[in-house]
């Protein structure tokens, strides 16, 4: 998701996100973020509430479309490599991206 921050009423650490900041991030569809108990509820909406601890400031050189399209898949890929596969030891790598009929 890639919104523009409209309001940050209650977050104690929200000062780095002035109102109107272009931000993006990953928002879960159901349940909760892992670190706190704040509920969240999907992205298919005009307005969503997200903890600022989960937001990144969108670089000017990156479009909202690219930020939205890459945030979930990109962070998944990155963390797969850095936390799961430890890629420096991987020599042969097969990526499956399509379904077979």
Task: Write out the two tokens for 2.
Answer: 């890639």
Task: Write out the two tokens for 95.
Answer: 């990526």
C-alpha–C-alpha distance, residues 2 and 68, integer Å: 5
Q: Does 93 help bind other proteins (rule: CB under 8 A)?
A: yes
Give residues with Cβ within 8 angstroms of 31, minimum separation 6: 39, 40
Q: Does 55 help bind other proteins (rule: CB under 8 A)?
A: yes
Q: Does 94 help bind other proteins (rule: CB under 8 A)?
A: yes
Shortest distance, position 42 Cβ to other proteins, whole Å: 13
- Please state the length of the chain: 101
- 3-state class (DSSP) for residue 66: helix
Q: Which x/- pattern, by CB under 8 A, does the window 12-41 give for other proteins? A: ------------xxx-------x-------
Backbone torsions φ then ψ of 22, nearest 5 degrees: -80, 120
Q: Does 5 help bind other proteins (rule: CB under 8 A)?
A: no
- Site size for other proteins (CB under 8 A): 46
Q: Which residues of this chain interact with other proteins, rule CB under 8 A?
A: 24-26, 34, 46, 53-56, 58-59, 61-62, 65-81, 84-85, 87-100
């Amino acid at each position: 998701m890639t919104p523009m921050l409209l309001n940050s009423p209650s977050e104690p650490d929200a000062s780095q996100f002035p109102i109107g900041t272009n931000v993006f991030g990953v928002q879960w569809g159901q349940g909760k973020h892992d670190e706190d108990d704040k509920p969240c509820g999907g992205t298919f909406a005009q307005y969503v509430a997200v903890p600022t601890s989960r937001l990144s400031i969108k670089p000017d050189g990156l479009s909202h479309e690219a930020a939205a399209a890459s945030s979930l898949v990109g962070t998944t890929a990155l963390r797969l490599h850095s936390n799961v596969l430890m890629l420096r030891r991987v020599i042969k790598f097969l990526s499956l991206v399509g379904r077979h009929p």
